[in-house]
Structure 1
Amino acid sequence: MVSWSEVEKSEPEFAAKVRRLFDAHKHKTIATLRADGAPRISGIEAQFTDGELTFGSMPHARKGADLHRDPRFALHSATSDPPDDDSSGWPGEAKIAGRAYFAEALDGSDEPEGELFRADVHEVVVTALNTEGTALVVESWHPGRGLRRVERT
């Protein structure tokens, strides 16, 4: 398992950028796989706590059932359009892919409030524009490979 803390240890500046993008908005989007293999997109909240990336699922939610059946996921930060007058002002967007593992039931007073999942991180990507706003910059981190940067015009 690769925890979020391993990304932070390997590439602290990159990890901080990813966290800023994820923490900029409360709601994110997660992709899971339905029983028939088709993708499912759902809204979700995610947290970086004690070196772990975690996210929850409400009781009986389809995304939780998806993750129990097939733990592969892709998590996407909220995104916004680049400013019309200065595209270099766009902060970019971040994505994390991996496998989700059940961590614990979130207990409520009368019935479970949901489930908490912990991420095994397989890939972290930031897509943004260069300083001039003239090229797309894709930074990606993989365990064992580290950080790579590609600039596309």
Structure 2
Amino acid sequence: MNWAAFSTAAPDLARIAEERFGSYRHHVLATLRGDGSPRTSGLEVRFTRGELWLGMMQGSLKALDLLRDPRFALQANPGDADLGSGDIRVGGRAFEIGDDQAKAAYVEEVEPPQPFHLFRTELTEVVRTYVEDEKYLVVQVWKPGEPVRTIKRA
């Protein structure tokens, strides 16, 4: 499921997630190395044309990880100590774009350094964690085909 479908299924959570990612330029991407161990890397993300895009330098280790195993986790930059709208994490699979038209449209809009890898994402979950009333830890979880589930703990 792409970002547009998620936005239709859970519009409030999608809006908050986009705002959180939009608050900072760099975020943290987790990929899997060849031996299965995790790798974390800094990354810029873009929401455009109904997709969450991951762009990265040609031949970067995180790109090579995704080419080998498309599973990823992406965490919005936590910024300062006050998370405000909360912590946002996105899980899914990323697939490199081979379509020259799609990549050209992205280049026209974003103007990334060349050459680069461009990955389209398919979401498997979006999670928001925040504190409510300085008393409750609230976790919202969305998965394709399911409504947003909210868990609140004191």
Q: TM-score, with normalisation over the residues of structure 2?
A: 0.87
Count of equivalent residues: 143
Residue 101 in 1 paired to residue 95 in 2?
A: yes
Q: C-alpha separation between the residues in 2 aligned to 1:11 and 1:90? A: 20
Q: 2:84 aligns with which of 87, 90, 93?
A: 90
- By how many angstroms is 1:50 displaced? 0.9
- Paired position in structure 2 for 1:86: none
- Paired position in structure 2 for 1:114: 116
- Paired position in structure 2 for 1:63: 62
- Paired position in structure 1 for 2:149: 148
Residue 12 in 1 paired to residue 6 in 2?
A: no
Conserved in 1, the CA contact under 8 Å of 2:16 and 2:85?
no
Aligned partner of residue 146 in structure 1, secondary structure: coil
User: Aligned-residue CA RMSD in angstroms?
Assistant: 1.9
Percent identity of equivalent pairs: 36
Displacement over 6 Å in runs of 4+: 105-108
- By how many angstroms is 1:91 displaced? 2.3
Aligned partner of residue 118 in structure 2, secondary structure: strand
Q: C-alpha separation between the residues in 2 aligned to 1:112 and 1:25? A: 23
- Higher relative strand content: 1
Structure of higher CA gyration radius = 1
Aligned partner of residue 148 in structure 2, secondary structure: strand
Gaps of 5+ in 1: 83-88
Deviations along 1:83-136, one digit per CA (max 9) or x if unpaired, are xxxxxx73211010000000147699xx95211001000000111111x12111
Gaps of 5+ in 2: 108-112
Q: C-alpha separation between the residues in 2 aligned to 1:140 and 1:133? A: 20
Aligned partner of residue 91 in structure 1, secondary structure: coil
AA partner of residue 55 (structure 2): G
AA partner of residue 91 (structure 1): S
- Paired position in structure 1 for 2:110: none
